[in-house]
Each structure stands twice: as C-alpha cells, then as structure tokens.
C-alpha cells in the first residue's frame, strides 16, 4: 500500500491482500472490499495485542465479526450458566445463532400478495430438507405474517417443519399465472428429492414422513384441490386452515369435485399416522376425501364449514378403503349433504362431534334432505355425536344411518347396533280417565319393521311390569302386537297399536281411579 499523509494523520490504501501491519493509529483502506482498518500499536504502548482492528462500516460483514454470542437470560435476574463452569461459557457466532431457524424470506419469498413466491418456497424446502439427507442441515422454515402468492404446487418433503404467525396471518394462496394451466393442488407431500405422485421413492428417495405444519393457511382462488397428503407417515397438521374458492350456491352437488384435504396411498406405501388438530376446511366440495387404504388418520378439534359433504371415506374404495380413521371433537356446519360418509372402510370412528346445519341442502333446520352420518360398511362406530336435527326431521331423514348389521352408534337417546336400535329409559305420565286411546310415541314404517317395549307402570299402590312385541303394517297388512305382563293389582292401563299410512302409534287408555300413572319404558326398534 502506498503511504498518503494529510497533516499529521497517515493512512494507506490498496487491495485487501496487500494490507500490512499498520502503525498505531494508522488507517488502511481496502479499496476492493471497501473495508477500513486501524493499527493497534505496540504492546509497549499499551495495546492488548499487536495487529489491525477493523472499523465497522456499511460494508463490514458484521456476522463474521460477532463471534462471541453467549446466551445470558438475564431477564430472570441472573445470568445463566451455559458452560460446565461459570467461567467457561459456551460462545457461538451470531451467524450460527441466526441459522438456528430459517425464514422463507431468506430464500427470496416476499409475502406481499403480489410477487410470485412459488420458486422461493420450493427452493427453501429443497435447500433445507432435500439437498442433503442429513439431520444436521434441517431447520424449521418460518413464514412471517404475509400473503405468499404461488402459481405452482408447493412440494413438501420429509422432515419439513413449516410454521407461521397464525392461520389467518401466514397464508399461501394459489393464483394461476395468466393463461397457464392450473395445477392439481396448492401443496402436496413429496419425497426427499421433491418427486411427487408415482415418482415418489424413485432414485432411492425417502418417502414423505415426519412432516409438521402449523399456524398457517393454504388457499386458492382457482377451482382445485388444496392439499394432497400422499404416501405419508407420522405427520402432523396443527392450527392449519384449508380454503377453496367455491361459494355455497355451487355446493348442492359434487359437480366441482374438489377437496380441501385429499389422502392417497399406494399398495407399497400406505399413508398412516397423520393427525389434523385444530384445523379448518371450507369452500370446496369435500372437506376431507379419500378412497385409499390409509391407517390411523386422526381428525380432532377441527371445523368443517361450507361443503357439499364434510368427510367422505371410501366412496369408490382403492385397496380396501380407509381403516382406523378417527374423527372426534369437531364441528360440522353449513354442509349441504352428509357430514360424514363412509362407503367402504372398517374400524372408523366418529366421536363427540357436533353437527349443526348439516344435511339440509343449506335450507336450515326443518328441511332435512340427507342423512348426517352415513355408514355403508361393517365395523364402524359413532359415539356421543350430537345433532341439531330434531326428532321430527329425523323421521324424514335420519341423523345416523348404519346400513349394516355390524356398526354401532350412540345417537342422542338411543344405542344403535346394526339393525337394532335401543332407546334409553323414558319416563312419562299416563293421565287418569283418558276415555280414548292417546299416543305415547310414533314410528315411521319406512325405517322400522317392528319394535318391542319393555315397561314399568306405577299407579297409586299398583305396579305392573311387562313387554309388548309389535310388527308394523306393511304392503297392506295391519300392525299386530302381543303383550306379557304381571302386576301387583290392576293398574287400569290398556295399550294399543294403530297405524295411519306410514306412521305407527303406540297408544294407551286409562280408567278412572283418580290417579295418574308413571310410565317408564325402553324401546327396541328393528330396522327394515
């Protein structure tokens, strides 16, 4: 470096590779890297070390200089001990500290709703999870609050962990480029080389596994499926929203045939152990749809809103259809037809779900148009599901339809076991001196071929216990019944079965004794 002297201050300039040992207080300017240095001076002058010290400028690499980050945690009122002894703290560079997690913006995503972030997101996923199959390079990928517009499918590989600032804050929204072909999905699972579909696992790639996505949304302005979970194991979706573009007016049938969540398997790689917790689906034909053999799919604490059907399992089964799907503690509302429909598939459970405006073709209560929970194959269970649909609407279209002898359901006040339905014990008052037959309950002959009533009557000091077995009138036949009972003394109660059209009524008359009777009974109904 040449020497330049201004007054009594000296400084040098030149290339960084030619930077010499500067004299104490002497400045050196590296022209090629625009970096500034000052000489430390000698030890005799009091310098702690001989050498040059870089003076920070706008062109300094601060992260490489900050090499002694130490966690302190002094908000607790003391400085944490990070090393084996109080004087042996663990130190790291600021670069290492910041690399503990990655933001999708570190890879070029903008998140302003205008820029196309497809390549940036897929690049981040590739660099963090695909470039090396190595647990040391994997980092959770953070999506700061923003709207990330994409025009192509996001391919999510094994071990990917995506998280955002909230389902309504960090949003990936598909909007196709002008004139381009619309992709099949907004996002889908991929293997360790980001291969998808039939290519998953080719070239020794690892199938998708241990994927975690939380606190973000996947949406589309196009008519398409939102998310495909394919050949995936041990993966989790927590507080994730899935939203399509269909309006309620287009969801009275399956014509558009889109789904928020689709699940697919192959004969060699079965999707299993996938959990959706605190998720929300809306504005597609189906909330969740699969025909494939899949195991251990859990849907909990979630909401399905504004669909033709909420969840459909095994409508056209592939490889025996889904098994071991558990749907629990979730809310179904604004569903045109079935809330849950199982075509073919076994060992599936619907438990403690709430069904509001479901199966009414968006016409609200009082307009039942379809079954709410519909089982069409063996060995499925409904437990503790609750329905807004009342008994009058249930007589038109059932809340739960088992359609088979090997399914079980606990519905409102009834236990259904295949073609047998048993109610809980009811208690009612049989009034004194009725004069004519009065109806206790009615059944629809379209649903039932017969029933039995087990009962107990207490009237003053008289007690009567008995059973009535009845067949309903069908194809021009009249209803029939038999009764067996024993009583401590005459209760003065007489029963009768009458039928008008498709309504069969269980009736009673009571003599005049001055006392009403307490009637406790359970009904066993036999499905037609």
Confidence category of residue 409, pLDDT binned at 50, 70, 90: confident
Candidate from 242-256, 297-311, 436-450 with smallest mean pLDDT: 436-450
pLDDT score of 412 = 64
pLDDT score of 66 = 65
Q: How far apart are CA 58 and CA 423, in angstroms?
A: 79
Check whether 34 has a pLDDT greater than 50. Answer: yes
State the chain's mean pLDDT as an integer: 90
Asked whether the beta carbons of 176 and 152 are under 8 A apart, the reply is: no
Check whether 424 has a pLDDT greater than 90. Answer: no
pLDDT score of 502 = 86
Give me 53's structure tokens. 């010290």
pLDDT (mean) for 405-411? 69
pLDDT (mean) for 438-449? 89
Confidence category of residue 209, pLDDT binned at 50, 70, 90: very high
The percent of residues in the chain predicted with pLDDT above 90, rounded, is 66
pLDDT (mean) for 232-255? 97
Asked whether the beta carbons of 226 and 185 are under 8 A apart, the reply is: yes
User: pLDDT higher for 317 or 233?
Assistant: 233
Check whether 301 has a pLDDT greater than 90. Answer: yes
pLDDT score of 25 = 87
User: pLDDT higher for 205 or 81?
Assistant: 205
pLDDT score of 6 = 42
Confidence category of residue 260, pLDDT binned at 50, 70, 90: very high
- What are 306-336's pLDDT values in tens digits? 999 999 999 998 888 999 999 999 999 999 9
Which of 487, 494, 424, 489 shows the shortest CA–CA distance to 456? 487
Candidate from 45-54, 65-74, 245-254, 366-375 with smallest mean pLDDT: 65-74
Domains in the chain, CATH or no CATH each = 2-58 (no CATH), 101-245 (2.160.20.10), 246-262+281-418 (no CATH), 422-527 (2.60.40.1680)
- In order, the DSSP letters of 335-392 are ESS-SEEESS-BS-EEES-EE-SBSSTTS-TT---S-SEEE-SSS-EEEEEEES--HH
pLDDT score of 296 = 94
Look-up: residue for tokens 């970096």? 35
Check whether 406 has a pLDDT greater than 70. Answer: no
pLDDT (mean) for 270-293? 97
For the chain, the C-alpha Rg in angstroms (whole number) is: 36
Check whether 264 has a pLDDT greater than 60. Answer: yes
Look-up: residue for tokens 């063996």? 378
Phi/psi for 489 (5° steps) reads: -160, 165
pLDDT (mean) for 295-314? 97
pLDDT (mean) for 219-228? 97
Candidate from 72-76, 111-115, 230-234, 429-433 with smallest mean pLDDT: 72-76
Give me 254's structure tokens. 């399956």
Check whether 1 has a pLDDT greater than 90. Answer: no
pLDDT score of 7 = 43
User: pLDDT higher for 56 or 336?
Assistant: 336
pLDDT score of 181 = 86
pLDDT (mean) for 448-471? 94
User: pLDDT higher for 379 or 133?
Assistant: 379
Check whether 439 has a pLDDT greater than 80. Answer: yes
Pairing of β 414-417 and β 420-423: antiparallel
Q: How far apart are CA 411 and CA 390, in angstroms?
A: 12
Is the pTM higher than 0.85? no
pLDDT (mean) for 361-384? 91
pLDDT (mean) for 220-231? 97
Q: How far apart are CA 504 and CA 472, in angstroms?
A: 7
Candidate from 72-86, 186-200, 309-323 with smallest mean pLDDT: 72-86
Check whether 35 has a pLDDT greater than 70. Answer: yes
Q: With left for phi above 0 and alpha for psi between -120 and 50, is residue 174 left, alpha or beta?
A: beta
Sign of CA dihedral 182, 186, 190, 194: positive
Check whether 9 has a pLDDT greater than 60. Answer: no
């Amino acid at each position: 470096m040449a020497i330049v002297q201004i007054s009594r201050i000296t400084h040098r300039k030149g290339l960084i590779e030619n930077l010499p040992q500067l004299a104490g207080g002497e400045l050196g300017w590296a022209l090629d890297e625009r970096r500034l240095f000052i000489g430390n001076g000698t030890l005799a002058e009091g310098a702690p070390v001989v050498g040059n010290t870089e003076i920070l400028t706008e062109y300094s690499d601060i992260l490489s200089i900050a090499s002694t980050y130490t966690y302190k945690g002094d908000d607790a009122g003391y400085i944490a001990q990070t090393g084996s002894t109080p004087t042996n703290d663990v130190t790291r560079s600021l670069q290492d500290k910041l690399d503990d997690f990655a933001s999708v913006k570190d890879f070029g995503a903008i998140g302003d709703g205008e820029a196309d972030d497809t390549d940036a997101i897929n690049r981040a996923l590739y660099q963090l999870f695909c470039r090396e199959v190595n647990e040391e390079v994997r980092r959770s990928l953070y999506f700061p609050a923003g709207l990330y517009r994409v025009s192509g499918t996001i391919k999510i590989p094994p071990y990917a962990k995506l998280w955002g600032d909230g389902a309504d804050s960090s949003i990936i929204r598909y909007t196709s480029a002008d004139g381009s072909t619309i992709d099949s999905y907004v996002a889908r699972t991929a293997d360790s080389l980001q291969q998808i579909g039939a290519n998953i696992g080719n070239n020794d790639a690892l199938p998708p596994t241990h994927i975690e996505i939380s606190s973000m949304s996947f949406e589309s302005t196009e008519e398409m499926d939102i998310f495909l979970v394919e050949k995936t194991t041990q993966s989790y979706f927590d507080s994730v929203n899935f939203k399509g573009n269909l309006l309620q007016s287009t969801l009275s049938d399956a014509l558009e045939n889109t789904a928020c969540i689709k699940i697919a398997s192959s004969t060699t790689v079965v999707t299993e152990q996938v959990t959706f917790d605190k998720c929300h689906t809306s504005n597609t034909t189906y909330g969740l749809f699969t025909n494939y053999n899949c195991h251990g799919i859990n849907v909990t604490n979630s909401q399905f809103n504004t669909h033709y059907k909420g969840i459909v399992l095994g409508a056209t089964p592939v490889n025996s259809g889904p098994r071991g799907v558990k749907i629990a503690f979730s809310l179904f509302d604004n569903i045109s037809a079935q809330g849950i429909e199982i075509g073919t598939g076994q060992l599936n459970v619907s438990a403690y779900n709430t069904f509001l405006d479901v199966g009414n073709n968006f016409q609200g209560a009082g307009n039942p148009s379809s079954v709410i929970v519909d089982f069409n194959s063996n060995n499925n269970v409904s437990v503790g599901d609750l329905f807004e649909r009342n008994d009058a609407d249930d007589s038109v279209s059932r809340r739960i339809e088992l359609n088979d002898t090997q399914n079980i359901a606990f519905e409102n006040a009834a236990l259904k076991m295949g073609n047998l339905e048993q109610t809980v014990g009811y208690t009612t008052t049989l009034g004194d001196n009725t004069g004519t037959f009065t109806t206790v309950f009615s059944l629809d002959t379209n649903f039932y071929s017969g029933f039995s009533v087990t009962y107990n009557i207490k009237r003053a000091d008289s007690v009567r216990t008995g059973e009535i077995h009845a067949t309903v009138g069908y194809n021009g036949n009249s209803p029939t019944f038999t009764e067996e009972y024993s009583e401590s003394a005459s209760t003065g109660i007489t029963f009768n079965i009458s039928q008008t059209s498709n309504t069969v009524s269980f009736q009673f008359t009571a003599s005049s004794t001055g006392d009403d009777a307490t009637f406790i009974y359970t009904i066993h109904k036999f499905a037609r």
